[in-house]
Structures are given as C-alpha cells and as structure tokens.
Chain A
Amino acid sequence: MLASRAGLAYLPDMSIWRYANPAEFMRLTSHLLAPLWVAAGALMAVALGWGLFATPDDYQQGSTVKILFIHVPAAMLAINTYAVMALASVIGLIRRHHVSFLVAKAAAPVGAAFTAVALITGAVWGQPMWGTWWVWDARLTAVLVMFFFYLGYIALWETVEDTEKAYDLSAVVCLVGVVFAFLSRYAVNFWATLHQGASLSLAEGQRMDDAFRLPLYLSMAAFYALFAALLVMRARTEIRRRRARALRLEAVPA
C-alpha cells in the first residue's frame, strides 16, 4: 500500500507528460536541438554522398535511379508527418496540452514541404523514365491529395484568429483528414486500376540490391533526423510566439 502510493507519487515526475509543460518542453528541447541538427547534417552528408556518388548506376535506369535517395524518404515522411500531426491532435484533444496542438501545427508545413519534394522529385524522375512529368497513377494521385489535406490544415491555422478555437478546430480537421486521406487512397486505387491495367510505378516487392539498400536506409534515417530537428525547432518557435503574444497583451495599458 505504502509502496504503491510512493510509486504513484513518483510517477508524474518520471512521466512523459512532464514535457507537456511548455517550460519543461523548452528546457528539454534546448539540449536536444543542437545534437539533432548535427545528427541530421552528418547523416544527410554521408547518406547523400554515398547514395549519389558512391553507388553504381542501375542497369536499366542509369544514374537517374539515384533520385530515390531523396524521393523515397521524402515520400515516407510525407505520410508519417501526417501521422505525427494526428497523434499530437488526439493527445491535445484528450489532455488539453498547448504543446501538443503546437507540435501538430509546427509539423504541418514540414510535412507539406516533404510532400512537395516527393512530388517534384517523382516528376523529375518520371520524365526520363516514363517519358512524362505526371501520370494519373494511384500512388501519385494519393500523394497529391495528401498535399491538399496539408494545405487545408495550414489554411485553417492561418484563418482562425482565436488561438484557443484554432487548437480544437485544427485537431478536428486533422482527424477527419486522416480518415479521408485513407479513404481517398483506396478510392484512387479503385479509380486508377480501372483506367490503366499496368501501373507504371516500380513493382512492389522488387528486390533491391544491397548496394542501394544500405544508403537508402541511411538516407531515411537522415530524413527522420532532419524532420525531428525541424519539428523541434518549429515547435519551440510556436511556443515562443505564444509567449510573446501573451506578454504583448499583458503590456497593453488597461
């Protein structure tokens, strides 16, 4: 009994929720930010250096294949950033933490940028490979739809003036968006498979040579580190902006 009570008393201090306090979050992340940037920079340099310059040309695709070291991680993060936003929104709605909502807000432009990178590198790669910048393939269309969900979410934050309302409304929009991004993904499959029997995208499950796979894993790690660094930096900016706003309101003479 005593032990469990002591355990309970000790728990909040150990808990991850401690960092929902903006001050605690700022203290923790001030130590994290520099290592994250160093890790992102070093990993990116090694991964892209290896991937772009030290891998052999593909026997079919020549050197154009090397864009995959940017395209694939960017596309991964385009999807996973939305998952981060959804998770942060759910936590924000349930536990009413400012930091959670602000993390979701901070993640959105990063995710939109990764989505844009995935779309642009895909087009640049598609031009020599498929002979066209764009095809209405299921995957491409789904990623494009994803981009519009990011835009809607960002536009909501830009438009709603009352911050407290923007927290909850953006969370609703984010969660509805998750459901419909999934639905659109499968709807688009249904639509594209009817129109073009043979998809032009790389066949799934196609074995990739180790010469490509290892630098690809490394560049994925690099992109994740970059994402983490950007997210932490932007979340810190949002928290400071909120604090600055509060100070400004305080300073206004009554």
Chain B
Amino acid sequence: MSRPALSALLARDIRLALRLGGGGAIAVAFFVLAVVLIPLGVGREPQTLARIAAGVIWISALLAVLLSLDRLFQADHEDGTLEQLMLAPVALEQVVLAKALAHWLTTGLPMTVVAPLLGLMLQLPAAALPALTAALALGTPALSLLGAVGAAVTVGVRRGGLLLSILVLPLYIPTLIFGARAAENAVLALDPWPALGLTAALTLFAAAFAPFAAAFALRINAR
C-alpha cells in the first residue's frame, strides 16, 4: 500500500517543483546568482576567490535551500492537501521523508551538479572540485531534512518565513562547518575524508530523526 503511495507523492512533488512557478529552478538560479555576486563584492583576485570559494558556495547553497523551504508544506497546507496526506494510510513520517527527498532532488541535487562550474569560476583548484561536489552531494540532503523540521514547525504560523530562517539557520551550522571544510581541506592539500565522513554522518542522523520531529510538529499544527 504504502510504497506506491509514497512514490506517487514523490513524483507529484517533483512535478510540482519543476513546473512553472514551482520554485525548483528558481532556487538553483538564486544559488548561482548569489555565488556570482561574490567576486563583484570582494574583488577578483584569484587567490582571494580560491580561498573563500568553498565557503561561499556552501553559504549560498544554505540560503537557497532556506528560501525554498516554504515550498515543502506551505502550499499543501493552504489548499488542504496536507490534511489529506495526514488522513492517508501512510505514516506521516514517511510522507515527510518523501517530501524532503523530492525537495532535495529539485534543489540540493541540481545545486550539486552546477557547483563544480561555480567552483571553477571562483578559481577553485581542479583538485578540490571532487571534494566540493562530494561534500555538497552528501551534505545538502541534511539541509532539506533539517529544513523540513523548521518548515513543519512554522507551517500554520502567520508571517512564519522570518521565524523559519531564525530557527533553521542555527541547525545548519554543523553541516556548513563539515561540508565547507571538506573542499577547503582539498584546497590546502589536506585529507578531505574526515570532513566528508562527518558530513555524511550528519545527513544520516538528520534522516533518522528529522521525519519524526517534523511529523510531530505537523500534527501539532493540524490540531
């Protein structure tokens, strides 16, 4: 019962995100734009850019994910779909996991794909590009999952957008630290594996607990 239902939900969320006004492409465009603005602000010295490239790309990814989080539950809450999903014979935790996965596939994954290009534009040494890409691939799912908790807490709240950002950004700190460190270590010719491992650990941890916290918050907001 539940697996076709969940894959249907996944396909629906992906389709909605890719359609015009769905926000998936806009989040990625924001990500690229934010990174491109950096050289205009800090100057175009290659050494400076190479030094900050990994951090800039990670922070831009963080903000792009943050801005797209309202897509997770807000529209479904407004048109009543969320209530239907809660009544469906599927665990709400699984619904959250499926929606977070769809969110990642339409924001985190495309950002990971364009990141090497942005790395090159920011003069990141080619040797550091695999580490940057791997860190984003391993770390951005955690951003979607943790974001789901914040989105679930703020779903029924009026003017919840600002609250969402102040709740979620502190949760992103560990992911930012480990994720950005992986690529930076590669730039400094240090071993990127410990940071990559810890980034992956954060994603696994988020996958294990975030669906429960988010589903709990959704149930509270549905009362």
Residues of the B chain whose Cβ atoms lie less than 8 Å from the Cβ of A187? 173-174, 177-178, 198
For B159, the closest partner residue in chain A by CB is A159
Q: Which residues of B contact A151 (CB under 8 A)?
A: 166
Residue of B with least CB distance to A185: B174
The yes or no answer to B160 lying at the interface (CB within 8 A) is: yes
B187-201 interface with A by 8 A CB criterion: 195, 198
**A164 and B223 contact, CB distance less than 8 A:** yes
Min CB–CB distance A181 → chain B (angstroms): 8
By beta carbon, the residue of chain B nearest A189 is B177
CA distance A115 to B123 in the complex (A): 40
Chain B residues near A214 (CB-CB < 8 A): none
| Residue A184 lies at the interface, judged by CB distance under 8 Å to chain B | yes
- B177, A172: Cβ atoms under 8 Å? no
Interface status of B39 (Cβ within 8 A of chain A): no
Chain B residues with CB under 8 Å of A190's CB are 177-178, 181, 195, 198
Question: Which A-chain residue is minimally distant from B194 (CB atoms)?
Answer: A190
Q: Are B223 and A188 in contact (CB under 8 A)?
A: no
B157 at the interface (CB under 8 A from A): yes
CB closest residue in chain B, given A164: B223
Give the distance in Å from the alpha carbon of A165 to the alpha carbon of B173 in the complex: 27
Residues of A within 8 A of B (CB): 145, 148-149, 151-152, 155-156, 159-161, 164-165, 168-169, 172-173, 175-177, 179-180, 183-184, 186-188, 190-191, 194
Residues of A within 8 A of B167 (CB): 152, 155-156, 173
CA distance A172 to B221 in the complex (A): 12
Q: Indicate whether B134 reaches chain A with its CB closer than 8 angstroms.
A: no
Q: Which A-B residue pairs are the 8 nearest by beta carbons?
A: A187-B174, A187-B177, A168-B220, A183-B174, A152-B167, A148-B170, A191-B177, A159-B163
Partner of A169, one of B162, B170, B195, B221: B221
Chain A positions within 8 Å of B173 at CB level: 145, 180, 184, 187-188
Majority SS of interface residues in chain A?
Answer: helix
Jot down 9 A-B pairs with beta carbons below 8 A, ordered by A.
A152-B167, A168-B220, A172-B213, A177-B170, A180-B170, A180-B173, A184-B173, A188-B173, A190-B178
| List of B residues within 8 angstroms of A145 by Cβ | 170, 173
- Please determine whether A156 and B170 come into contact, CB atoms closer than 8 angstroms: no
Which positions in B face A, CB cutoff 8 Å?
149, 153-154, 156-160, 162-163, 166-167, 169-171, 173-174, 177-178, 181, 195, 198, 202, 209, 213, 216-217, 220-221, 223
Instruction: Give CA–CA (A169, B213) in the complex, Å.
Output: 10
Cβ–Cβ contact A180 & B174, under 8 A: yes
Q: A191, B181: Cβ atoms under 8 Å? A: yes
- Shortest CB–CB separation between residue B187 and chain A, in angstroms? 13
B171 touches A155 (CB 8 A): no
Verify B156–A165 contact, CB threshold 8 A. yes
Chain B's closest residue to A161 (CB) is: B158
- Asked if B178 and A176 sit within 8 Å, CB to CB, the answer is no
Contact between chains at A149 and B198 (CB < 8 Å): no
Residues of B within 8 A of A175 (CB): 213
Contact B221 A152, beta carbon cutoff 8 Å: no
A210–B154 Cα distance when bound, in Å, is: 51
Contact of A188 with B220 at beta-carbon distance under 8 Å, contacts A152-B170, A155-B163, A176-B171 already known:
no
Q: How far is the CB of B176 from chain A (nearest CB, A)?
A: 8
* Nearest CB in chain A: distance from B47 CB, A: 18
- Given contact pairs A165-B223, A169-B153, A191-B181, A152 touches B213 in the complex (Cβ within 8 A): no
Q: Nearest Cβ distance between residue A83 and chain B, in whole angstroms?
A: 17
Complex: A195 Cα to B149 Cα, angstroms: 32
Inter-subunit contact A194/B174 (CB<8 Å):
no
B196 CB to nearest A CB, Å: 13
| Interchain CA distance A175-B166 in the complex, whole Å | 16
